[in-house]
């Protein structure tokens, strides 16, 4: 299992979005990190029904949620890698 597509988004209680890539190759989209009264937690993908109620579409154990949160924290600490067509900040990338 691997956290992919981490996108920080600090607005209200929302801290960011991410997807999960399983070892079998499935991508689960729509996970969120939320700030609660007991700290941050993983909010699983959900859908709204015709009556306006929200239901989770992916279920997992508390242990898996804790592991996902730990993986996101590790992802947050990484600096974004430059894209191949972007120059780095060293002198060799200066075109003259």
Q: What tens digit of pLDDT does each residue of 66-78 get?
A: 898 888 888 877 6
pLDDT exceeds 90 at position 50: yes
Give the Cβ contact number of residue 34 at 10 Å: 14
Q: Give the whole-number percent of the chain exceeding pLDDT 70.
A: 80
What pLDDT does 73 receive?
A: 86
What pLDDT does 92 receive?
A: 53
Would you state the structure tokens that stand for residue 34, as one six-digit string? Answer: 């939320």
Give me the phi and psi of 92, to 5 degrees please.
-65, -20
**Taking the model in full, what pTM does it have?**
0.70
First vs last C-alpha separation in the chain: 45
């Amino acid at each position: 299992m691997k956290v992919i597509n981490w996108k920080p988004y600090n607005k209200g209680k929302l801290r960011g979005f991410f997807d999960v890539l399983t070892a079998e190759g499935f991508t689960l989209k729509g996970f969120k990190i939320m700030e609660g009264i007991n700290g941050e937690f993983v909010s699983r993908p959900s859908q709204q029904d015709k009556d306006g109620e929200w239901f989770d579409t992916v279920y997992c154990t508390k242990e898996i949620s804790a592991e996902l949160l730990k993986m996101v924290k590790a992802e947050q600490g990484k600096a974004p890698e430059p894209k191949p067509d972007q120059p780095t900040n060293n002198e060799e990338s200066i075109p003259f």
